Amino acid sequence: MSKPVTVRTFLNMKQAGQKIAMVTAYDYPTAKLLEESGVHALLVGDSLGMVVQGMHTTLPVTLEDILYHTSIVSRAVTRPLVVADMPFLTNQVSVEETLKNAGRLMSVGGAHAVKMEGGAEVAESVYRLVQAGIPVMAHVGLTPQSVHALGGFSVQGRKKPEVEKMLDDVTSLEQAGAFSVVLEMVPAEVAEAVTARLTIPTIGIGAGAGCDGQVLVFHDMMGFTSGYIPKHNKRYANLADTIVQAARSYVEEVQSGAFPGPDQTVYLKPDEHAELQPLLKGEPL
């Protein structure tokens, strides 16, 4: 797929039964490499708070943080759809404040769309943004910005009232104009029911293969970090071990004198050497 991916591409792919692949990206080189891989969309997620900034939740991430990383990612690519997360309290205060913040992510950050957590309660904001020309990717199920209200990072949609609310939420969000919806940490059967109900594509993360697409956090899928691995994650590489081993080799070669070698060293040309010979011998020029 060589043409730029747009919100229309997302809808066309759902209608054609083609799966959408989205990955998070926070910097220029990563975005460039992911574009080469053929991913359809890059999410500048507030997950950067946890995998880049070392936070325990996404709550401390600011609009300025997302703007900074979105501007970097958007400069790196021409084909994937770049979606910027709306951080905590940037879309919960008022519709006007939401419109202002989303507009900055588009005009300053260079995003092609924004992602907004929440259900029917944010439908009015979604509608206003879409009317202003700002595409919105919705996000229901486990919404990390509500981690404390939810009682932790747990699966959502196991009980009838939760499923009924989720179905009402996604219907409201679709009617408000959202072009897609992320389903996070939702039982596969529920995600399939949601996907079948909507004309817009669903993007799953921990929601089974029945969604119209999938999204993973780059650092998780590439094994960039060690320690806890989310159940829904699949590691396609183990960059952490590769980086540690490469750095160890560097330390050993520095200490042994093997690095830098001739290939990494610049030497004087003969005429330069002759001119500087006195100085090199410790004599005054």
The pLDDT tens digits for 231-268 are 778 999 999 999 999 999 999 999 999 999 999 999 99
Can 121 be counted among the known catalytic residues? Answer: no
Q: Which residue has the tokens 């084909």?
A: 79
- How many residues are there in the chain? 285
The 10 Å Cβ neighbour count of residue 78 is 10
- Tell me which of 36, 64, 162, 184 is the catalytic residue: 184
Mean pLDDT (the chain) is: 92
How do the domains of the chain map onto residue ranges? Answer: 7-237, 242-280
Whether 56 shows a pLDDT value over 90: the answer reads no
Q: What is the pLDDT of residue 83?
A: 98
CATH class name, domain 7-237: alpha beta
127 CA to centre of own chain: 24
| Amino acid letter for position 248 | R
pLDDT single digits (tens) 76-129? 999 999 999 999 888 888 999 999 999 999 999 999 999 999 999 999 999 999
DSSP for residue 248: H
Six-digit token string for 199: 């004309």
Residue 35 pLDDT level (bands cut at 50, 70, 90): very high
Residue 66 · residue 111 · CB < 8 Å: no
Does the predicted model carry a pTM greater than 0.85? Answer: yes
Burial class (CB in 10 A: 0-12, 13-18, 19+), 52: middle
